[in-house]
């Protein structure tokens, strides 16, 4: 069962940060943007109750995720060490700060429910809730790398907390904006509130981004000693992806700002009602993926600590170099024969068959995706309407992966299906990904065959793609493993980023009007093409 624990452990950090942002960012939103005590404000009670509800949900869920994080750690340690990790674990910062944070979030949740909820227009109650939030925020300092450094410990801890709070301000405010849009659609709030709060959020959003940069850059500079480490380690690789996602999120933020600015100049409501909400939805996808990537980054050893495991930039480039795809596979017998030596703890013998097997799987999958993306591009032309069934390729790919992914397990290998699925985090991840790919194809084909204009089915595709990307980024645990592991990881991280672009593009294609619709659709298909190319040229290092 430790496979499940390992998998959940890689996702829980992102879930935790999302709830943290909902609580912390939501309170800052109330204090600096909403200001419900203002007598001129046009907020009705129901709206303010819903605002506090969302913040309460964040604080309450944070208690559960903090406790779940500790339980998962105990579970994993017991499985790895084959003994109960107490009392030693009880003395670690992870345990003590985690438990304190859960307790403090509990107090906050209690105050929100019992006091702020019934005094939503009282400035003093908002300030009290924020003061109560502060100790919980500060405990975060003992849960980051900074806490275990020998030099500049205090500074690094403080910068990391500032970084987390700035991120929470941005993400938590975006959650609140989504709530407001939802209430506006249902005519539950005064329509004027939407543009006004969008406008007020703009400068605060900029402060959040400045806070992220002013804290994130010095931390990053501290944890890197060479430029090469930025490219050649798991830590650097994830940071690079984070910066790219920040640029995408800022792109959406700028489009929103422009639309709101235009509204106040021209009073034309088209953009703020028919574009901004969808940009915000896409921005949310990016920011949530960013949080999962941040959690994954924070669980990796900083680049400065692993100079001996750092790949050179030439090695990284080589991982992406075009090759002729491998279109013949070694036999299953040859693969199994090499397995004992490959996974031996002492006296490892690299297996050429295993490397060739993996290359074949990746390269054939790449060919599938590249061909599908070309069909998808053709489907935009009227004379190629048949090409719109390109997602069928996902179903075929799912079947291919089911047989080929984990050759030592059922149906090809001796290890049973359930045994391998639940006892090995990697196999479990492959199984989920395979199912995801198959379902992606099935749902999308059904969506394309449906004539119902109100069908929600088309949205499954972008949601599953975003989840796939998130899994690729959240499970980047190269840690202290050899640099060959990192060289495999680097392509997967990049594919995670392209999956996110695929998801956002398709989401916007479904929601926007022209010309944004067509542009987003093309970007989405192009991202699929890129994923296909990365896989088609994938070459696994021999190890
Ligand atoms: C130039 C942009 C950025 C840089 C240089 C940067 C840098 C970093 C670094 C070095 C860490 C790891 C700290 C550690 O190892 O203890 C980190 C963590 C984190 N980053 Fe960023 N970051 C950037 C952008 C962002 C953005 C845009 C967000 C979210 C909106 C974000 C959210 C976070 C969060 C929440 C953590 C803490 C993760 C945890 O402790 O579980 N960062 N960042």
What are the residue ranges spanned by the domains of the chain?
A: 2-183, 309-536
Alpha carbon nearest to ligand 1 atom 23, residue: 216
Average pLDDT of the segment spanning 59-74: 95
Query: What confidence category does residue 261 fall into, taking pLDDT thresholds of 50, 70 and 90?
Result: very high
18 lines ligand 1 (CB under 6 A): no
Backbone angles phi, psi at 283, to 5 degrees: -60, -40
Q: Of 366, 355, 444, 445, which Cα lies nearest the Cα of 401?
A: 366
Q: Which pLDDT belongs to residue 1?
A: 61
| pTM of the predicted structure, to 2 decimals | 0.92
Shortest-distance atom of ligand 1 to CA 287: 30
User: Residue 302 pLDDT more than 80?
Assistant: yes
Alpha carbon nearest to ligand 1 atom 27, residue: 246
Average pLDDT of the segment spanning 184-188: 94
70 lines ligand 1 (CB under 6 A): no
Q: At what angle do helices 2-29 and 425-449 cross, to 10 degrees?
A: 60
CA 543 remoteness from chain centre: 29
Give the CA distances from residue 477 to residues 160, 301, 343, 363, 368, in Å, rounded to whole numbers and listed in that order.
21, 10, 18, 23, 27
Residues in Cβ contact with 374 at an 8 Å cutoff, skipping those fewer than 6 apart: 529
Backbone angles phi, psi at 137, to 5 degrees: -65, -40
Q: Using alpha carbons only, give the angle 487, 233, 422 rounded to the nearest 5 degrees.
A: 65
242 lines ligand 1 (CB under 6 A): yes
Residues 57 and 26 sit within 8 Å (Cβ to Cβ): no
Least confident of 183-197, 474-488, 520-534: 474-488
161 lines ligand 1 (CB under 6 A): no
Longest dimension (CA), the chain: 77
What is the percent of the chain where pLDDT is above 90? 61
208 lines ligand 1 (CB under 6 A): no
Query: What confidence category does residue 345 fall into, taking pLDDT thresholds of 50, 70 and 90?
Result: low
Q: Which pLDDT belongs to residue 66?
A: 96
Least confident of 153-157, 212-216, 449-453: 449-453
For the segment 159-177, what is each residue's pLDDT rounded down to a tens digit? Answer: 999 999 999 999 999 999 9
Residues 219 and 146 sit within 8 Å (Cβ to Cβ): yes
User: Residue 422 pLDDT more than 70?
Assistant: yes
Identify the three-state secondary structure at position 409: strand
Q: Which residue among 153, 242, 302 is best mutated to probe the pocket of ligand 1, counting the most ligand atoms within 8 A of its Cβ?
A: 242
Identify the three-state secondary structure at position 92: coil
Q: Which DSSP string do the residues of 207-270 spell out, in sequence order?
A: HHHHHHHHHHHHHHHHH-SSHHHHHHSHHHHHHHHHHHHHHHHHHHHHHHHHHHHHHHHH---H
The mean predicted confidence, pLDDT, of the chain is: 90
């Amino acid at each position: 069962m430790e496979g499940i624990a390992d998998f959940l452990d890689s996702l829980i950090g992102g879930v935790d940060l999302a709830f943290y942002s909902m609580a912390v960012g939501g309170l800052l939103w109330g204090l600096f943007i909403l200001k419900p005590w203002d007598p001129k404000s046009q907020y009705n009670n129901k709206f303010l109750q819903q605002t506090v509800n969302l913040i309460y949900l964040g604080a309450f869920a944070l208690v559960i995720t903090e406790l779940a994080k500790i339980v998962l750690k105990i579970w994993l340690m017991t499985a790895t060490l084959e003994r109960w990790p107490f009392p030693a674990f009880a003395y670690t910062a992870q345990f003590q700060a985690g438990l304190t944070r859960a307790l403090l979030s509990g107090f906050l949740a209690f105050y929100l429910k019992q006091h702020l909820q019934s005094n939503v227009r009282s400035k003093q109650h908002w300030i009290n809730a924020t003061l109560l939030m502060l100790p919980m925020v500060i405990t975060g300092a003992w849960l980051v790398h900074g806490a275990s450094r020998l030099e500049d410990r205090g500074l690094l801890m403080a910068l990391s907390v500032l970084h987390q709070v700035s991120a929470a301000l941005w993400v938590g405010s975006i959650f609140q904006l989504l709530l407001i849009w939802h209430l506006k659609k249902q005519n539950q709030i005064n329509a004027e509130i939407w543009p006004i709060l969008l406008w007020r959020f703009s400068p605060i959003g900029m402060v959040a981004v400045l806070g992220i940069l002013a804290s994130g850059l010095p931390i990053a500079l501290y944890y890197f000693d060479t430029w090469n480490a930025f490219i050649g380690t798991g830590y650097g690789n994830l940071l690079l992806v984070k910066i790219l996602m920040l640029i995408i999120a800022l792109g959406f933020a700028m489009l929103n700002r422009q639309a709101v600015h235009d509204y106040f100049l021209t009073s034309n409501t088209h953009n703020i009602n028919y574009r901004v909400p969808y940009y915000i939805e896409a921005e949310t996808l990016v920011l949530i993926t960013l949080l999962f990537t941040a959690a994954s980054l924070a669980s990796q050893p900083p680049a400065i600590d692993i100079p001996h495991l750092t790949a050179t930039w030439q090695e990284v480039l080589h991982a992406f170099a075009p090759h002729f795809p491998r279109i013949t596979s070694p036999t299953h017998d040859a693969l199994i024969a090499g397995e004992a030596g490959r996974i031996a703890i002492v006296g490892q013998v690299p297996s050429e068959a295993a490397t060739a097997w993996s290359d074949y799987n990746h390269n054939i999958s790449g060919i599938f995706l590249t061909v599908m993306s070309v069909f998808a591009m053709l489907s935009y032309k009227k004379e190629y309407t048949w090409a719109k069934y390109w997602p069928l390729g996902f179903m075929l790919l799912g079947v291919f992966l089911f047989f080929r992914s984990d050759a030592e397990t059922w149906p090809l290998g001796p290890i049973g299906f359930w045994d391998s699925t639940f006892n090995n985090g990697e196999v479990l991840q492959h199984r989920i990904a395979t199912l995801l790919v198959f379902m992606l194809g099935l749902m999308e084909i059904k969506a394309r065959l449906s004539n119902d204009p109100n069908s929600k089915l088309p949205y499954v595709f972008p949601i599953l793609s975003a989840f796939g990307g998130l899994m690729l980024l959240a499970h980047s645990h190269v840690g202290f493993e050899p640099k060959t592991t990192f060289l495999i990881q680097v392509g997967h991280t990049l594919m995670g980023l392209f999956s996110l672009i695929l998801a956002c593009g398709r989401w916007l294609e479904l929601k926007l009007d022209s010309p944004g619709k067509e542009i987003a659709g093309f970007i989405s298909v192009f991202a699929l093409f890129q994923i296909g190319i990365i896989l088609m040229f994938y070459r696994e290092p021999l190890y």
